[in-house]
Amino acid sequence: MSWKYVRADQYCDSVRDGTHDTPKPTESGYKLVTGKHVKAGQIDSSTAYFISEKDYNAINERSLVEQWDVLMSMIGTVGESAIVKEPPCYAIKNVSPLRRWIKS
């Protein structure tokens, strides 16, 4: 497979911004993916901490991540990106989701 470079305005329906608040960690719930979890084209949430359902829902009102979005880190590992290949069950912080016009 070969990659084609395109400008974001030719690819995206929307570009949003994840939360900048720091939700309180919980024992269980939903994962909070940050820029450090996006590296080398992959999203590795294995070390992400859990947040409450209330915080998860609040974050997703602003920046819901969907399958086939591209996540781009904005703080820390700036510019790292990865495609969300599986339906996500996490919220994001300091990561920008770019929504595709056409989903595969």
HEC profile of 2-58 = CCCCCCHHHHEEEECCCECCCCCCECCCEEEEEHHHEECCEECCCCCCEECHHHHHH
Q: How far apart are CA 20 and CA 16, in angstroms?
A: 12
Q: How far apart are CA 11 and CA 98, in angstroms?
A: 9
Spatial distance between the Cα atoms of 10 and 100, rounded to a whole number of angstroms: 9
Q: Is pLDDT above 70 for 19?
A: no
- Closest Cα to residue 59, out of 18, 3, 14? 18
Under the banding of pLDDT at 50, 70 and 90, the label for residue 9 is confident
Q: Is the pLDDT assigned to residue 103 strictly greater than 70?
A: no
What average pLDDT does the segment 12-29 reach? 83
Q: What is the pLDDT of residue 11?
A: 73
pTM: 0.82
Residues contacting 2, CB < 8 A, separation 6+: none
pLDDT-derived band at 78 (thresholds 50, 70, 90) equals confident
